[in-house]
Amino acid sequence: MTKLKTDFVALGGSRSEHAPHTPGGGCLPAGVTAPDFTLHVTADQRLTLSDLRGKPVILAFYPADWSPVCGDQMALYNEVLSEFHRFDAQLLGISVDGVWCHSAFSEARHLHFPLLADFEPKGAVARQYGAYRRADGTSERALFVIDRGGIIRWSYCSPVAVNPGADGILEALEALTR
């Protein structure tokens, strides 16, 4: 793997900050079956998680399109997408924004992975994963790596103002190959 500055460790954070974290006991931990869901990718196209069985899946919940940290996080994942694909992994971005907002955001950022609209009922999937922020009506900045059989093998809930980077995801994908 090419050495990439893909996480906040490069910005002075410590590796221990990548340990799975569940504020308030919220985000689902490793070892749990990933809840199935169907969400809109576009106004007339839906994606169902269980249809991706047989390949690793990365769920990247984020608070909102157009926010500076979210924009940087999604741009980073776009840059390292080929690294995710080396593991045959499918990346899915998920927020409570609607399909039209996602479409404009994806086009402006030139993203090459699906953004799913957890819009109506608002945050229903984020709630299933323990990643809904009731106080502000958005998602946590939560990451999940799901194995080929649909089991969460790694999860991480980052502080909302911190880009969690990609190193934890890549380490989790590497662990799936061992």
In-domain check, residue 125: yes
pLDDT tens-digit profile of 132-169?
999 999 999 999 999 999 999 999 999 999 999 999 99
Specify the number of domains making up the chain: 1
Q: Which residues are catalytic?
A: 70
In-domain check, residue 2: no
In-domain check, residue 23: yes
Residue 130 sits in a domain whose CATH number is 3.40.30.10
- pTM of the predicted model as reported, rounded to 2 decimal places: 0.87
Cα 97 from Cα 139, distance rounded (Å): 10
| Structural domain for 65, as ranges | 19-29+55-176
In-domain check, residue 10: no
Across all residues in the chain, what is the average pLDDT?
89
In-domain check, residue 112: yes
DSSP output for 20-76: ---GGG-SPPTTSBPPP-EEEEETTEEEEGGGGTTS-EEEEE-S-TT-HHHHHHHHH
Instruction: Reply yes or no on whether the pLDDT at 65 is more than 60.
Output: yes
Reference 22, options 163, 158, 162; nearest CA is 158
pLDDT tens-digit profile of 81-122?
999 999 999 999 999 999 999 999 999 999 999 999 999 999
In-domain check, residue 48: no
In-domain check, residue 45: no
pLDDT tens-digit profile of 1-33?
333 434 333 322 333 333 343 334 589 999 999
